[in-house]
Structure 1
Amino acid sequence: MGSTTPVFKSPDEDTIYALSSAQGRAGVAVIRISGPDCLEVYQQLCPGKKVPEPRYAVVRALHEPTPGKNKDVLDSAALVLSFPGPRSATGEDVLELHTHGGAATVRAVLSAISRCRARASTEIRYADPGEFTRRAFLHGRLDLAQVESLGDALDAETEQQRRAAVAGTSGALGRSYDSWRRSLLHARAELEALIDFSEDQHFDESPRELLGNVAYLTRELLRSVERHEAAGRRAELLRKGVRVALVGPPNAGKSSLMNLIVGREASIVSTEAGTTRDVIEASLDIRGYLCTFADTAGFRSAAKPQQLGENGDATPSSPGNDGTIGLVEQEGIRRARAKAEDSDVVIALASIEPVIQAPGPDGATTTRHRIKYDEETLRLAAQAQQRIVIVNKRELVPAPELDSLIGQFRSQVLARFPGLHTTQPLAVSCRECADASGDDDHDHGPLVGGRRRHAHEAHPTGQATVGLTSTQGGGRDTDPGSVQALVDRLAGSFESLTSLPPDMRDLLGVTERQRQLLARCRGHLEDFLAEAGGGLDETTAPADDHDPDVVLAAEHLRYAAHALAAITSGEDAGDVEEVLGVIFEKSVPPSPLSSWG
């Protein structure tokens, strides 16, 4: 008997199907089928019915794909659309079934598709995670940058994340990178011709002049790459969230402020100083920006925190009953310092504290007020990309005295720090804010019309929110405690960290992977300019004794072009399927974010 050679087929030859709409009960469910056997599936589910015209919706009854005339009806009125390849979402033949969205109906239709008979050499199977998108990429319907943006769109939880994802789906980034790569290919061709034929042919330009012209074009490209890199850093803040650290001396109100902002009791609040020993983090949505708040241990040492009184004197206050700090609290302060140094926004808290004066000749005592602050936390705020200085417990002093204290604090303390000398401190009152929200339990839900809205109540617009909003009407304070003013400042800081000019909005689609490849490209371009002579400064002429290595210079351009190709096609970027799997692998949906509108 003669041996037969086994025939292996690629999984890409299979016809795949999946539920494209969300799981669960709905009015309509969308089931997508892609591959060479779409026509066979249609003919078995809709026997005897004409295939619909491409991109025209028709109503069809879906039947069990069993032999015989009496076939059970799965759905009496499903909407059917066909999209012949290559003008389809995946580049293959695509069939869409819009069925009634009941769970039983969806299960029955999916089960029926799995029992449809395929051609001998193919298989009809349920799609793997991300397989529709992978086929779209392999058939040239999407480049890898667009695939990443689609993944970001699936993960987007805030408005700004959605906008960043949309910016990358247009394909404009991919077109830019392909244009840059073609420019590098042309430049390499010039250098390769110089390498191969310089001894045989006469060139209009000398090697030095040719390298100079290529270097000029390379500097132009380098500026564009650097611009995309910088935009990518801003876009990454939108995707991963802005990191915010609350720092200050013990008992300044950090935990109270944290709980008010996140809308729940995330941190322990106590009159006892030093109750926060570790970093407490919570994620929330502030005006469409994802951010991670970190409440930290209070900073103190034998000479800190400081107090600023009406006379402008800064005097030390004792850190504890015995003036010592335990090992656990020291570790908490170390972690707080590290968290602040790693944050994008640092909120430095100070607080107004009463100081009882010694009795006078008449035996009466008087109470003065000082601002308690910590110099190290102010220094950390000054070094941050964005900083906010808060003075808590404003309810302890009348307005004239408050203005005087704030003025002294700004002119005599903040002025000593280069990053804070122009900062206007914001006076807040966590107590006033909590009292206005009726803080009689642990639910710090948003205020609506002067009352608290609990977490389970719907927002008037239908959007779930957690946090505080201004009270409207009735002549009442529209921002009790000025916590809403703090949220306004935070939103402004987030915008400063992430905003781009209108003509650069598409660059919000630059992802971390793309930014790393752009950095690799930039490095090779800089190496080329160093080899070509003149370096990064176009006004600097190459040294007369510099003899550039044209072969090495051309190699730098080749590596730069490979880095750009990896952004859109995955070449030289490792296994493409692994990249796609990471982007689109299904995961457990995250918990809903707290939100400030």
Structure 2
Amino acid sequence: MRAFISFFARLPRASSIRAQCSVVDVSRSSIGRSASIRQHGVHQPTLRPLTAHQARHYHPSLFRNDEPTIYALSTALGRGAIAVIRISGPACRQIYEGLCPSKAFPTPRHATLRRLYRPHVAPSPSTLLDSGALVLHFPAPNTVTGEDVLELHVHGGPAIVRAVLAAIPQCASIPGDTSSSSQQAIRYAEPGEFTRRAFANNRMDLPQIESLGETLSASTEQQRKMSVRGTTSSLAARYERWRQQLLQARGELEALIDFSEDQHFDESPAALCASVATQIRRLNVQLDAHIANAFRGELLRNGISVALLGAPNAGKSSLLNRIVGRDAAIVSHEAGTTRDIVEVGVDLGGWLVKIGDMAGLRKAGLVGSDVVGAVEQEGIKRAKQRALESDVLIVVQDATTEMDPEVTATARQCVDAGTSVVVAINKTDKLPEPHAISEWRANIRSVLGVPTERAFFISCREGTADSAPIDKHKDPGNIQTFLRGLLGTFEDITAALVPDAEPDPSVWQESLGATERQRLLLSDCRSHLEQFLIAVQGRDTDPEESASSPPQSTYALDAPSDADETDNIDIVVAAESLRLAAESLARITGRGESGDVEEVLGVVFEK
């Protein structure tokens, strides 16, 4: 049967159809179509015009000569030693001849020193734009855009850059020559247009482009690692393999729909659906890991939210100052000094961290001679909310006092919600007895449910701001030990999840770079695959059966022993679910046929 499917799948590609010299797309008929067209047992292919993007994808030579030549300043605006102007398009040679008259065209990929002049005038000192510019030519198609590329490395003075940029469009035509062959459209590039052409000419795929934008905006070491891993094409290749797997499975089901009456199949419909469902369940395991890793990648991309929780005067502001290495928050012996949330962003060991110092938690009413007013009550309310929304919670506890019930209750809520909780027992220099540390460890484990390895005993009084950078040999107040433990927590919550059956864990590091757009499309694909399993199963899995199955598998499918059970299998709906799932994966790479692909491309390229 699989040999027959392979032959059937090749039929549309084998018929290279052209109608009235127009480019058309050959595709299979829609599944479940009631009015199927048959001729000698084979569907007639459906013809529809290609969009400009699809035509350029299938026929890279189309429209290339009609594209205008674009240019832009590739380096940042401002004064500098060198400024790079990039030109892409068919008019690169014409622009060179206009700026460098009577000079031989440079050897491809060799830097050549040239003087740049205003075009269409006799070279002279008065028409000189730059006395020494490096010119490089990169011939198509092995360039960043897939077109001819010319780079001008000029002196970085703002006046020189402006003069050269103004001279480039003047090379579009020769004065007095009105022939169409001499007219070349040359204009300044729109935002993201170089990248758009790279995508249209198959030099980059959409996940690579999204990672490129993150590479340019990376500010920490972990962001750099994540973005660099994403600039390879392996992530898009993985999505494409999954799509091809779904298309193959869909082809097998569609063959049952189209030819079940005309052909004899080795497998029964129920057995075939069971075989496909087994493949889908394996794919679901990988999809679940990718989606979970995409959430973890958001922590690297947007920053890890950390909240400091504790009672008044526990030392939260002092600890914040030790972590960031400067006086970011006011430190005072007066209770309730911090009312609103003090947010500080810092690069901590390569992770982008957003630390929030909040109001100390205490019950409303009288506390000694202090009154908890309305402003402080609002601060306490916001502190609790910020703690529940954080990725990592640092509970700061005064070693000389008992744990406040408000702090304990809020911290316990965070533990139950799955938030990573770290406990910092402060003011250890005032502990009366050495064995008090052991008592605190047991108390933290029993009351908060936090492992003892995440409890650290520190002294912000002994630690100084200069000790904030991690130093294993110098650790006053155990601040460095606390920071190392905090970084270990960051590593745990941002490490890539790897399925048990995956032989190479390193490939899953790339899934951390999946963007929110990719994650949403992966979730759509996952939901369509669940609909497929429902269609072929006909009922949800029994809860007792699912308890013994892998956690990623929501539905189970066994081949029915009785042929009558195939009536519960809706093959048409199952095949449609596979089509929608494959389309979701195609939209990730930007090669799909859905109507919103062009809108997605516009948003991505401008970034």
Alignment TM class, shorter chain as reference:
0.7 to 0.9
For structure 2, which runs of at least 5 residues remain unmatched after alignment? 1-62, 174-180, 497-504, 542-552
Match of 1:412 in 2: 443
Match of 2:592 in 1: 571
Higher deviation after alignment, 231-240 or 369-378: 369-378
Q: Deviations over 1:268-327 (max 9, x none)?
A: 32211112222221111111111111111111126xxxxxxxxxxxxxxx8623686433
The Cα of 1:352 is off from its aligned counterpart by: 2.9
Pairs within 5 Å for 1:63-462: 63-70=117-124, 72-118=127-173, 122-301=184-363, 320-321=367-368, 325-353=372-400, 374-383=407-416, 384-397=418-431, 401=433, 403-418=434-449, 420-434=450-464, 437=465, 446=466
Cα distance, 1:75–1:497 mapped onto 2, change above 3 Å: same
State TM-score, norm by structure 1. 0.79
Letter in 2 for 1:391: I
Q: Deviations over 1:204-232 (max 9, x none)?
A: 11111111111112112222212211221
Identify the structure with the greater helix proportion.
Answer: 2
Q: Distance in 2 between matches of 1:94 and 1:185?
A: 38
Match of 1:4 in 2: none
The Cα of 1:540 is off from its aligned counterpart by: 4.6
Letter in 2 for 1:155: S
Match of 2:486 in 1: 490
Letter in 1 for 2:558: A
Describe the SS at the equivalent of 2:399: strand
CA-based RMSD: 2.7
Q: Deviations over 1:405-455 (max 9, x none)?
A: 22212223432333x154452121222223xx5xxxxxxxx46xxxxxxxx
Q: Distance in 2 between matches of 1:33 and 1:151?
A: 20
Cα distance, 1:91–1:424 mapped onto 2, change above 3 Å: closer
Q: Distance in 2 between matches of 1:531 and 1:539?
A: 12
Q: Is the 8 A contact 1:232 1:508 kept in 2?
A: yes
The Cα of 1:395 is off from its aligned counterpart by: 2.5
Cα distance, 1:542–1:471 mapped onto 2, change above 3 Å: closer
Pairs within 5 Å for 1:494-573: 494-500=490-496, 501-533=505-537, 536=553, 540-541=557-558, 545=565, 547-569=568-590, 571=592
The Cα of 1:98 is off from its aligned counterpart by: 1.5
The Cα of 1:385 is off from its aligned counterpart by: 3.3
The Cα of 1:490 is off from its aligned counterpart by: 1.5
Q: Distance in 1 between matches of 2:243 and 2:136?
A: 39
The Cα of 1:381 is off from its aligned counterpart by: 4.8
Relative contact order (alpha carbons < 8 A, sep ≥ 6): 1 or 2 greater? 1
The Cα of 1:330 is off from its aligned counterpart by: 2.5
Q: Distance in 2 between matches of 1:489 and 1:424?
A: 7
Q: Distance in 2 between matches of 1:42 and 1:94?
A: 11
Match of 1:314 in 2: none
Q: Distance in 1 between matches of 2:438 and 2:231?
A: 50
Q: Is the 8 A contact 2:408 2:447 kept in 1?
A: no
The Cα of 1:562 is off from its aligned counterpart by: 0.5
The Cα of 1:582 is off from its aligned counterpart by: 3.9
Letter in 1 for 2:97: Q
Q: Distance in 1 between matches of 2:594 and 2:424?
A: 46
Q: Distance in 1 between matches of 2:404 and 2:263?
A: 80
Describe the SS at the equivalent of 1:246: strand
Describe the SS at the equivalent of 2:140: coil
The Cα of 1:572 is off from its aligned counterpart by: 6.3
Count of residues in Structure 1 that have an aligned counterpart in Structure 2: 510
The Cα of 1:537 is off from its aligned counterpart by: 6.4
Cα distance, 1:141–1:134 mapped onto 2, change above 3 Å: same
Cα distance, 1:91–1:203 mapped onto 2, change above 3 Å: same
Match of 1:53 among 107, 128, 136: 107
Q: Distance in 2 between matches of 1:379 and 1:347?
A: 12
Q: Distance in 1 between matches of 2:383 and 2:184?
A: 59
Q: Is the 8 A contact 2:362 2:404 kept in 1?
A: no
Pairs within 5 Å for 1:457-468: 467-468=468-469
Q: Is the 8 A contact 2:196 2:605 kept in 1?
A: no
Cα distance, 1:582–1:254 mapped onto 2, change above 3 Å: farther
Q: Is the 8 A contact 1:248 1:350 kept in 2?
A: yes
Describe the SS at the equivalent of 1:88: coil
Cα distance, 1:269–1:208 mapped onto 2, change above 3 Å: same
Letter in 1 for 2:116: L
Q: Distance in 2 between matches of 1:491 and 1:388?
A: 11
- Percent of aligned positions with the same letter in both sequences? 49
